[in-house]
A and B are shown apart, each in its own frame.
Chain A
Amino acid sequence: MKLKKLLSQKKSEIIQKWIDGILGTYPADTYQIFKKSGDQFANPVGTTLSREIAELTSIILEEEIDYNSVKKHLDTVIRIRAIQAFSPSQAIGFILLLKEIIKNILKAQDINLDELLLLYSQIDKLCLIGFDIYTECREKLFDIRVSEIKNKSFGALKRAGLVSEVLEDV
């Protein structure tokens, strides 16, 4: 695919713009801090998002997209955004930013419409995968909440026969 070859030459620019876009979804002061520090333990969200976006970009610009890897990296990003102050669409909307970045990077004469539409539909697919991941994360939170009550608080009492079986359904 000619288009992907062309974009690969501008990969670092794409990565930078995409990282900027995703970090730009945080308030201005936060953006500054998340962008600044490169220590992965002192700045876990900023560094993780940056690293994963770079990985995702590389995978997407491959001729054949490995959707298993895509899923893994998207999971890392969305798992974080799923518990932050974002609506579901905001949590995964960063994926669609890539379309705009790509369009702005290409000069008019470079655009082969078929190729561009194919790449756009690949990005759409990422978005759908992201939607699944977001839902899984939210479900996981509810499961954790239920099992916390069931196992942690009543598990021990039940093992000791101090509460009735009825509580099993809590």
Chain B
Amino acid sequence: MAKPKEVLSNLNYTPPETAWMDTPVNIRKGMYCYAANPKSLEALDLPFPRSWNPMDEDWKLPANWKEIIHKGFKERLDKFRSIKVFMDICVRCGACADKCHFFLGTGDPKNMPVLRAELLRSIYRNDFTLAGKMLKKIAGAREMTVGVLKEWWYYLFQCTECRRCSLFCPYGIDTAEITIMGRELLNLLGLNIDWIATPASNCFRIGNHLGIQPHAYKDMIDFFLDDIEEITGIKPEVDFNRKGAEVLFITPSGDVFADPGTYTCMGYIILFHYLKKLGLDITWSTYASEGGNFGFFTSHEMMKRLNSKMYAEAKRLKVKWILGGECGHMWRVISQYMDTMNGPADFLETPVSPITRTRFENAKSTKMVHIAEFTADLIRNGKLKLDPSRNDHLKVTFHDSCNVSRGMGMFDEPRYVLKSVCNNFYEMPANTIREQTFCCGSGSGLNAGENMDQRMAGGLPRANAVKHVHDKHGVNLLATICAIDRAALPPLMDYWVPGVGVSGLHELVANALVLPGEIKRTMDLRKEPLPGVEEEEGDDAE
């Protein structure tokens, strides 16, 4: 008879004890996104478009793939000093090891930022350093092989480029930058994922990620106007592509086409209507109908291409400046890259709020203002009549999106707005917010459906902190200023913390905003009854 221990050992309790270099990559279903559609790669002029499957042995690589990678690596080492430095200076102190949400959620050591970087660094040592060339494995070097390439692909698409690890590195090594470079190299071999390539191609060809045509964009906004009329008794007007407007408004298309972002979109429309009489002259564009930038997850060139579209439209419409909606990577690109890539935008003017006359000096080069900042300024100057009790049914916490918080340093404006429009606001624990925020787990193009295990694991630390405030304070709403978050967090909550909804900031602003001439509000923007209203009506009936 088998002894208990033998039976248990069949269940394989103890994982293999091999060193990381000797543990081959094991691509697991649920942890990766589908390969890029060749048509999308073609549309973007990216090399080697083909159908391939990550689970297949043969990835149909070009014969000279090693040479391409080596050359590409060399070029980037010459071009980006940061990469060269990051390759050289890591002392493997391990301070970053347990700071990545993917490591914390999956428990996979190769998701430790230091090892993620080592995947590339080992090749760097082998190909570009004397010690590596001579001492090989002793110096932490190894030859490039198909196995290594697959490992790169698997783990570089398990990094959301969130930069949390960089915060803890004594040398400031930013693994996000290493991932960005690694993904560029993979793109040289046509190894992108479809959730990035197809939105990028749609954005390039049609103007937004979903590939929605201008008339459908307008139809969708018209539909919001009807809904707003039903809720407030007022039907705002929105105009598109109007030349000579003072301000161009650009937001992620997710706000227009995907719930619950749509309610935030209605929020913008209501706010702009309110401000019209106070002097706001704003237009929307059906061409620059996307703020998000999936080019950022492909290559520097692609990011530049997609970013330039927004400015081309601003030039065409002859506006003075751009107001940007609640988006994540749009803002990271504006804040970190735009200025040196497509800027400075000299044909535009330094943004000045037409209502408060506040001059946004911080935007004097990019000429683009974040709507959370814009609205915070309005509230600060007493320009908005607000009734926060209309959000009393909500207990709200705030998720700092990596791109706007760590990526551009915006922490206080959205909180100031939230606290002005909601009476019940609770922070998550300090080591999970602001610059230390945990990623949603689906950023940088990983918000697909086929990698649901990965998304749930990556979002685990975030959800864990939400659960804490949900249990402790009864928090039932997670507010955020990023369209990817608005799409990614509802499933995350559904799995980890059922009972917590997700919203944008301006949905809550518009719930609270008292419009001149509005009807008595009985429902919020989601057409759910406001607290107290039902009982009152019940009383009337009696």
Measured CB to CB, the residues of A under 8 A from B are 21, 24-30, 33-34, 37, 39-45, 48, 79-80, 83-85, 87, 89-90, 93-94, 96-97, 99-100, 103, 140-141, 144-145, 148-149, 151-153, 155-157, 159-162
Which residues does chain B contribute within 8 Å of A33, judged by CB atoms?
97-98
Contacts of A25 in B (CB 8 A): 13-15
Q: Which residues of B contact A161 (CB under 8 A)?
A: 223
CB distance from B165 to the nearest CB of A (A): 13
Of the candidates A85, A103, A145, the one whose C-beta lies within 8 Å of that of B108 is: A85
Residue from B105, B257, B453, B457 in contact with A157 in the complex, judged by beta carbons closer than 8 Å: B257
Interface on chain A toward B: helix, strand, loop, or mixed SS?
A: helix
Q: Does residue B495 face the partner (Cβ distance < 8 Å to A)?
A: yes
In the bound complex, do residue A84 and residue B259 qualify as a contact, i.e. CB atoms below 8 Å apart? no
A45 and B108 contact, Cβ closer than 8 Å, known pairs A21-B13, A144-B491:
no
Residues on B with C-beta less than 8 A from A84 are: 105-107, 453, 457
B508 interface residue per 8 A CB criterion: no
Those of B71-122 within 8 Å (CB) of chain A? 97-98, 103-109, 112
Structural contact, A152 and B259, CB atoms closer than 8 A: yes
Most buried by B among A26, A85, A90: A85
A152 x B490 contact (CB < 8 A): yes
List chain B residues, Cβ under 8 A from A141.
Answer: 30, 452-453, 456, 495
Q: Mark B482-497, 1 if CB is under 8 A from A, else 0.
A: 0000010011001110
Q: Which among A28, A29, A37, A159 is the interface contact of B223 at CB below 8 angstroms?
A: A159
Contact of B495 among A24, A30, A140, A157 (CB under 8 A): A140
* CB pairs A–B below 8 angstroms (24 shown): A21-B13, A40-B468, A41-B429, A41-B461, A44-B105, A44-B461, A79-B495, A80-B460, A85-B106, A85-B107, A89-B11, A93-B8, A93-B11, A93-B13, A96-B8, A97-B13, A100-B4, A140-B494, A148-B490, A149-B449, A152-B490, A155-B259, A157-B220, A160-B219
The 4 closest A-B pairs by CB, nearest first: A160-B223, A93-B11, A44-B464, A26-B107
Residues of A within 8 A of B357 (CB): none
The complex places the Cα of A41 from the Cα of B468 at a distance, in Å, of: 9
Q: B60 near A: Cβ within 8 Å?
A: no
Q: Contact partner of B5 among A34, A42, A83, A100, CB < 8 A? A: A100
A93 to B465, CA, bound (A): 28
Q: A100 CA to B105 CA in the complex, in Å?
A: 28
